[in-house]
Structure 1
Amino acid sequence: MSKEFGKYVRGGAPETKKFDMNAPLIKQRPFAMPFVWGFSYIRKFLHFGKLNKVRMKGVKPPYILLCNHNAFFDFYIMSAAISPNRGIFPAAVDDYIGREWGLRRLGAIPKRKYTADISLLRVCRKALKEKQIFGIYAEARYSLCGVTEVIPDAVGQLVKHQGVPVVTLTCRGHHIYDPFWGNHRKRWVHPVQADMVLAYTPEELKKASAEEISEKIKNLLYNDDFRWQSENHVKVSYKKRAEGLHKVLYQCPHCMTEFKMNSKNDKVFCEHCGKSWTLNYYGELEADDGKTEFKFATDWYKWEREQVKKEVLDGSYRFESQVDVNDLPNSKGFVHMGRGTLVHDMTGFHLKGVRDYDGEPFEMNIDAAGQYAVHVEYNYRFGNHRDCIDLNTLEDTWYVFPEHCDFSVTKVSLATEEIFNEIWRQRNEKRKTAKAEE
């Protein structure tokens, strides 16, 4: 691996062997589970973890477990919650770098983010047939700001026809402990909390529509970590607790300038107008001078979404940048492909470039109507600590690093979701109009 491109990134021709997405399912090894459960219970104990179970009496595998996703710490609480049972869980292909052998034997199956992979349904049915727990982190990524991210409506359709109970596990406090934007600097947070709820019995699933199931699951998995921290008076005294938060809060609500936010220690500030906010011990924002626009970072994040939505509705949204591109063919790591140009607009993602090793062109196009969300990274550890956008097809995973411009991958993420929503809103309206005219 080359230090030039980053850890687990090499130059040269790409690997011919790619991830085997259809490899046989491997049950979690019984001899390994006591270690997994033991370590998970220790982590739960150290954070005074509270697990509230609702309607769970008598619920045994097989069942589907749907979880929210704030941090890696989620896995410890989940393992403790389902013990002494084992589970099968999809995991993003980048999780397998350098550890595929172990992950597969712990019950993980590879998945490319935000792709319509029907093999997931096949694996789900096989796991349930073998009387196991099939787990899904419904957001398919860590929450960027501690509030539940988009959950696709297809979740309701997936679980309705499996004929097994549906359980939700909602973790709270994990984003505060290890925020996605926090440069992997963990805070001491206690207690943390999780709610494990039997959402549907098989009989209840038969009576409910897929839309009703999706809506209930979204409500059960909803979490706002900063609001939870404030309401439960969970104190975080870490001096640098706000560092990195500007990665999410990229637009100043005072002067409306984008991409000029920064953070240091317990403060978030705008380098354009000079206004600053302090993140207090209890997850609340306080303006150092003048009006406090948002008490919680999650409300600021939702406001940014509304600003992006306005650009989408008036058709003005467009992002174009020179980019550096890494390919992830398998668990050995990334291969540096070369540089090119990325355009993100109302039609989707369009990436073109030239490969370093042979001068041949490469290209990826992703239709906006089929991309309900996109995964982004802040200070990605396998990309020389740069922000990036993770683009996936059923065959490829490319990590794309914008260069030589002011940008926010958070805005790209929000725009992807709002463009998708607007496209399908318009299509559904046309269908309703066409039916009404028949």
Structure 2
Amino acid sequence: MNENRARRRDRRRARRARRRIRAPRHVNAVLRSVIGPTLKWLFHIETENRHMVHQLKPPYVLIANHACFLDPLMVNCQINAPVHYVVSDANFRSRLVGFALDLVGSIPKTKAMSDLETVKNIVKVKATGGIIGVYPEGQNTWDGHTLPIFPATAKLFKALKIPVVAAKVQGAFLSMPRWARSYRRGRVVISFALVYSAEQLKAASVDEVHSGISEALEHDEFEYQRRTMVPYRGKNRAEYLEIVLCVCPHCHSIGRLHSRADTLSCESCGYQVRFTAYGFFESGNGRPLYHATIRSWNLWQSDHLRRTAQQYAAAQLCDPLFEEARVSVRIGYKSSPLEPLERGRLQLYADRIVLLPERRGEPITFPLRDIEGINVQNSEHLEFYARGSLYRVTIDDRRGNTYKWNLTVRHLQHCCSA
């Protein structure tokens, strides 16, 4: 079984190395003429300084803040030439989605890890005079605020020696939050700006380039919303919010929040808030409003999980910190289709993740020191590399929170390395 899996992996690696990155202009023209007007109508998209990108001759790098699932299409439809986006290789595991991404010239990239093959493909696109689309955060935001930029991004841009253009996307997070199952109608504004010309990029240091692109993409959706106060109308606005928010600010219980329609409640203490059409919380039952925004709540809960992880690791307890009663685990590698591995109960300890199979087999242990590139894919799947393979964990409960696992594993890894 393992030998067959290894042979399939080698064949897929070879196919990936032979992948040709190309995007026919007629395909891009059809997408812009069909999808562009639809997105503009659905999300009320407006642009600022769009003429600048029309006047700039490729090759150049187009960077953007990753606010929602659809913002690559929103941005691409504003540009007259194809954009070769760097895309998580997880999206290529589906043959249909992979075919569509190949059709528009997407460049596969392993999430949260360095990938030399991706750099080679980026250089190929530059050589053909194409536009390279990069999301320097590496994933779309959980709370409406720009995530930290990967330091290696600035080094890559310095090496490419071509202009860098920023598209700041505002309003897209509240239009389609990462945790939501439906969109809301409000307004999206895309602002274009030239961050660096080729000459400016050459003269700047790596640290200056990093600061420049970070500043160009810096965005807080709720600070922006306080200035604009655009209503984002839709049904069940709080539904599935427990996918990102997992700690009650009143009783500090973890994993006891539950959403319904426009409200988020704690099943332990009864604390309740209402999520309004303007994207802010209101107190739902007369208790204090601890956090007015998802951003504020998420910052507080991340710090709470960090302190909880530190205390748990120091106490050397035998019981797990977290546990999921029913999960399914699949195994694969990069863009290869995943294969079922096991179903069972997942437990998190100070130094390891343990899978207890439903069938009475031996527990499968993943030492935290062996785990690399841990991230959440599509808001629900926990993915990480260990022992040369990719593992994907899916919680049976659709409201299960893998985000808290991602945060806490990182905190525990930091505790172990400190």
User: TM-score per shorter chain, which class?
Assistant: 0.7 to 0.9
Q: How does 1:21-420 map to 2 (within 5 A)?
A: 21-46=16-41, 47-53=43-49, 58-81=55-78, 83-96=79-92, 97-99=94-96, 100-183=98-181, 185-189=182-186, 191-288=187-284, 289-312=286-309, 316=313, 319=321, 321=323, 323-328=327-332, 333-339=337-343, 367=369, 371=373, 374-378=375-379, 387-392=380-385, 396-401=389-394, 408-418=401-411
On the 8 A contact 2:376/2:406 being kept in 1, the answer is yes
On the 8 A contact 1:64/1:165 being kept in 2, the answer is yes
- Kindly state the Cα deviation for residue 95 of structure 1 after the two structures are TM-superposed: 1.6
On the 8 A contact 1:376/1:413 being kept in 2, the answer is no
On the 8 A contact 2:353/2:368 being kept in 1, the answer is yes
Q: Residue 213 and residue 419 in structure 1: after superposition, are their counterparts in 2 closer, same or farther (change >3 A)?
A: farther
On the 8 A contact 1:53/1:195 being kept in 2, the answer is yes
On the 8 A contact 1:321/1:403 being kept in 2, the answer is no
On the 8 A contact 2:63/2:135 being kept in 1, the answer is yes
Report the AA paired with residue 236 of structure 1: Y
- Kindly state the Cα deviation for residue 40 of structure 1 after the two structures are TM-superposed: 3.7
- Kindly state the Cα deviation for residue 389 of structure 1 after the two structures are TM-superposed: 0.6
On the 8 A contact 2:58/2:130 being kept in 1, the answer is yes
Q: State the alpha-carbon separation in 2 of the partners of residues 310 and 246 from structure 1.
A: 20
Q: Residue 258 and residue 401 in structure 1: after superposition, are their counterparts in 2 closer, same or farther (change >3 A)?
A: same
Q: State the alpha-carbon separation in 1 of the partners of residues 409 and 161 from structure 2.
A: 33
TM-score when scaled to structure 2?
Answer: 0.83
Q: State the alpha-carbon separation in 1 of the partners of residues 371 and 27 from structure 2.
A: 42
Q: State the alpha-carbon separation in 1 of the partners of residues 155 and 416 from structure 2.
A: 21
Which structure has the highest helix share of the two? 2
Q: Residue 246 and residue 195 in structure 1: after superposition, are their counterparts in 2 closer, same or farther (change >3 A)?
A: same
The DSSP-based 3-state class of the residue aligned with 2:381 is strand
Q: State the alpha-carbon separation in 2 of the partners of residues 45 and 109 from structure 1.
A: 26
- Kindly state the Cα deviation for residue 352 of structure 1 after the two structures are TM-superposed: 6.3
- Kindly state the Cα deviation for residue 278 of structure 1 after the two structures are TM-superposed: 0.9
- Kindly state the Cα deviation for residue 163 of structure 1 after the two structures are TM-superposed: 0.8
Gaps in structure 1 of 5+ consecutive residues = 1-12, 379-386, 427-438
TM-score when scaled to structure 1?
Answer: 0.79
Report the AA paired with residue 248 of structure 2: C
Of structures 1 and 2, the one scoring higher in RCO (CA 8 A, sep 6+) is 1
Q: Residue 328 and residue 187 in structure 1: after superposition, are their counterparts in 2 closer, same or farther (change >3 A)?
A: farther
On the 8 A contact 2:345/2:357 being kept in 1, the answer is no
Q: How many residues align?
A: 397
Q: Residue 342 and residue 304 in structure 1: after superposition, are their counterparts in 2 closer, same or farther (change >3 A)?
A: same
The DSSP-based 3-state class of the residue aligned with 1:160 is helix
Q: State the alpha-carbon separation in 1 of the partners of residues 65 and 28 from structure 2.
A: 23
Q: Residue 207 and residue 420 in structure 1: after superposition, are their counterparts in 2 closer, same or farther (change >3 A)?
A: farther
On the 8 A contact 2:242/2:259 being kept in 1, the answer is yes
Gaps in structure 2 of 5+ consecutive residues = 315-319
Question: Counterpart in 1 of 2:8?
Answer: 17
- Kindly state the Cα deviation for residue 69 of structure 1 after the two structures are TM-superposed: 1.4
| Percent of pairs with identical residues | 21
- Kindly state the Cα deviation for residue 310 of structure 1 after the two structures are TM-superposed: 2.4
On the 8 A contact 1:346/1:368 being kept in 2, the answer is no
Range moving further from structure 2, 415-424 or 89-98:
415-424
1:146-200 Cα distance to aligned partner (Å, 9 max, x none): 22233211111111221111112221222222222112x12222x2111222111
Q: CA RMSD in A?
A: 3.3
Range moving further from structure 2, 26-35 or 308-317:
308-317
Q: Residue 263 and residue 321 in structure 1: after superposition, are their counterparts in 2 closer, same or farther (change >3 A)?
A: closer
Q: Residue 213 and residue 344 in structure 1: after superposition, are their counterparts in 2 closer, same or farther (change >3 A)?
A: farther
Q: Residue 264 and residue 342 in structure 1: after superposition, are their counterparts in 2 closer, same or farther (change >3 A)?
A: closer
